[in-house]
Chains A and B, each alone.
Chain A
Amino acid sequence: MIEVNNLRKEFKKTIKDPGLKGSIKSLFHPKTETIAAVKDISFEIADGEILGFIGPNGAGKSTVIKMLTGILTPTSGTCTINGKNPTHNRKNYVREIGVVFGQRTQLWWDLPLRETYGVLKEIYEVPDDKFKERMEFLNEVLELEDFITSPVRTLSLGQRMRADIAASLLHSPKVLFLDEPTIGLDVVVKHNIRNAIEYINKKEKTTVILTTHDLADIEMLANRIVMIDKGSNVFDGTISELKSKYGQIRELNFDTSDAKAREKLAYVKQFKTKKEDIIVEQEGNMVKVRFDSSIVPVSEMLSYTLGKIKVNDISVKDADIEEIIARLYKHEVG
């Protein structure tokens, strides 16, 4: 059980005027301001859950993850994993967790991959027999065999990521933090990594906290989403809750030979809505209408459109999660 309670992190930032002159001035008269990167966030994660932790760039995701992994000391608030607190006893706390930062590696760069596991075994005090068993398991799930004797510097990004995930799981942590584990990977490798994460979660009941900008990761893996923006929690719930809360957006696509279809369809006037609630685009024969089905019911939209112009083919699409999140990030809804 992970409990995050009013977690807050403030950074002091030096304000500088531009240019060398500004830098010199700031050297002698530094002006600082305090910026709250994370503003009193609270949430809980149950054992065995996969939590998708998302938010736009600069929302404070990394700061939260770094506090949860013992890297940053919170300005106030607490986070505990099974009652353990990183601020009081970091060493004890980090035994419970495994961490992968997709943009960094904790592998020994110059040495064959196997050597990394040998050292981590000592750092985490994994007994010999347990280590052997664990390596076999990780080998099976992440297929390390092909490159375990190669120096880390020669691994491809996909191999390196698998190796890094294995490194974070060597000590059988109860909680696994994955910060952008699929960044820069091709579709096949992404798929394999998602499968591996899912398998480990099912098999070992490992709690997974996943941050990513690839929403397919979230859709495939996460039971629940916590979304933050500007340092505050803006959404906490399942994907279907997210969809029903913000997902009333529908997309109507039709094919028409009427070149003036767009002009003829006076949706805003007809339904007396605001301009931004119904967006119409036309490209040759194809017309795309995006609208909020909680304002304009789909049936009315269809009958109005079909009554107004001649349509050859028509379809209505649900907004996908990517679209919803893009709108949330851009503050169009919520």
Chain B
Amino acid sequence: MIKQIKRMMRMHRIFVTQELKRMMEYKANFVVGVIAFLLGQITNILFIWIIFSQIPDLMGWNINQIVFIYGFSLIPKGIDHLFFDNLWMIGHFYVSKGEFDKYLTRPINTLFHVLVERLQIDALGELIMGISLICVSVPKVSIVWSLEKVALTIVAIVFATFIYTGIKIGTAAIAFWTKKSGNITYMFYMVNDFAKYPVTIYNNTVRGIITYIIPFAFTAFYPACYILTNANPLYNVGMTVIISIVLMTIGIVIWNRGIRAYESAGS
């Protein structure tokens, strides 16, 4: 077991190095990509700033808390985006074009291989933005920090990341039957936009969906709620962990079944 984890970490390092080398091959593209993404994020932030400056208070949440929640939501999203973006390729063309063959002829777990193969550096834009928003808002919201809170925050970020990853794995793997599933992943993924704001601002239907059906609320609002107010860590962080494990398990089950249904493509 330990040997296996060691090997996976080693493989991960090798693939990441490979990706970095790949990016260096196309320097101009890389630099422009990062700039474009940062510009996109800046417009985004200006936009919410304009909105929030008009509504200083939102269902009991003040502007700084909202900014904190928004910033926090970008962290797990950004980490997943940075490391596990390759899953999109499964639903868009690896399966329909038969490119998935390659993974099946190699002696490593296919899902692991797909996950670690690509690095999506654009995601740094999200992470930088998330961290900046948190840095801006933290001094203005009175958070009581404790060792327990720091630990739970890290736990929440890790498991929240795997909520994204789990949903992407499960929806991407549908492609093994339908050949393409990029739009399914996209549909689920886009629900995360709702999770950037306090869920209390939504009506019961939307709140129900992002809490219980496509539970992105646990990637941001609920854990952030605990960090900001100390409220109910058992639910706010505990459910994040449970949901994350459940979604990853479902994703992996669908994936493993999908592989048996994979039909490749004519040669």
- Which A residues have a C-beta under 8 Å from some C-beta of B? 11, 62, 66, 69-73, 90-92, 94-95, 97, 99, 101, 103-104, 106, 108, 110-111, 115, 118-119, 122-125, 151, 179-180
Assuming A91-B109, A92-B107, A111-B21, is B11 touching A104 (CB within 8 A)? no
> Cβ of B36 < 8 Å from any Cβ of A?
no
Assuming A71-B104, A106-B102, A111-B22, is B260 touching A66 (CB within 8 A)? no
> Cβ of B267 < 8 Å from any Cβ of A?
yes
A123 touching B108 by the CB < 8 A rule? yes
Render B1-31 as a binary contact track against A, CB cut-off 8 A, 1 for contact: 0000001001100110010011001100000
User: Which among B18, B99, B109 is the interface contact of A111 at CB below 8 angstroms?
Assistant: B18
Q: Return chain A residues, CB-CB under 8 Å to B26.
A: 110
Assuming A92-B107, A106-B102, is B267 touching A151 (CB within 8 A)? no
> Cβ of B105 < 8 Å from any Cβ of A?
yes
> Cβ of B266 < 8 Å from any Cβ of A?
yes
A226 to B71 Cα, complex, angstroms: 63
B18 touching A94 by the CB < 8 A rule? no
A103 to B104 Cα, complex, angstroms: 17
Chain A: minimal CB distance from B31 (Å):
16
A71 to B7 Cα, complex, angstroms: 23
Assuming A110-B25, A151-B25, is B14 touching A119 (CB within 8 A)? yes
Assuming A111-B21, A122-B10, is B260 touching A71 (CB within 8 A)? no
**Besides A62-B264, A118-B14, A123-B106, 18 other CB < 8 A contacts?**
A62-B266, A69-B101, A69-B104, A70-B104, A71-B104, A71-B262, A72-B262, A72-B263, A73-B259, A73-B261, A91-B108, A94-B105, A101-B267, A108-B18, A122-B14, A123-B107, A124-B107, A125-B7
* B101, B261, B262, most chain A CB atoms within 10 A: B101
A70 touching B105 by the CB < 8 A rule? yes
Q: List 27 A-B contacts (CB under 8 A).
A: A62-B267, A66-B101, A69-B101, A69-B104, A71-B105, A71-B264, A72-B263, A72-B264, A73-B259, A73-B260, A73-B261, A91-B107, A97-B105, A101-B267, A104-B99, A108-B18, A108-B22, A110-B22, A110-B25, A110-B26, A111-B22, A111-B25, A119-B15, A123-B106, A123-B107, A124-B107, A125-B7
* B7, B105, B266, most chain A CB atoms within 10 A: B105
Chain B: minimal CB distance from A27 (Å):
12
- Which B residues have a C-beta under 8 Å from some C-beta of A? 7, 10-11, 14-15, 18, 21-22, 25-26, 98-99, 101-102, 104-109, 259-264, 266-267
A184 to B56 Cα, complex, angstroms: 67
A71 touching B101 by the CB < 8 A rule? yes
Chain B: minimal CB distance from A197 (Å):
18
A90 to B101 Cα, complex, angstroms: 13
User: Which among B14, B25, B106, B262 is the interface contact of A94 at CB below 8 angstroms?
Assistant: B106
Q: Which residue of B lies closest to A61 (CB)?
A: B267
A125 to B261 Cα, complex, angstroms: 29
A104 touching B102 by the CB < 8 A rule? yes
- Nearest 10 CB-CB pairings of A with B: A62-B267, A73-B260, A91-B107, A71-B104, A99-B105, A110-B22, A95-B107, A122-B14, A71-B101, A110-B25
Q: Which residue of A lies closest to B260 (CB)?
A: A73
Chain B: minimal CB distance from A36 (Å):
14
A73 to B110 Cα, complex, angstroms: 15
A122 to B18 Cα, complex, angstroms: 12
A122 to B98 Cα, complex, angstroms: 24
A205 to B89 Cα, complex, angstroms: 39
A189 to B26 Cα, complex, angstroms: 31
Q: Return chain A residues, CB-CB under 8 Å to B7.
A: 125
Q: Return chain A residues, CB-CB under 8 Å to B18.
A: 108, 111, 115, 119
User: Which among A94, A104, A115, A180 is the interface contact of B107 at CB below 8 angstroms?
Assistant: A94
Q: Return chain B residues, CB-CB under 8 Å to A125.
A: 7
Chain A: minimal CB distance from B253 (Å):
16
Q: Return chain A residues, CB-CB under 8 Å to B108.
A: 91, 123
Chain A: minimal CB distance from B179 (Å):
11
A69 to B106 Cα, complex, angstroms: 10
A104 touching B101 by the CB < 8 A rule? yes
Q: Return chain A residues, CB-CB under 8 Å to B264.
A: 62, 66, 71-72
A124 to B108 Cα, complex, angstroms: 8
Q: Which residue of A lies closest to B98 (CB)?
A: A104
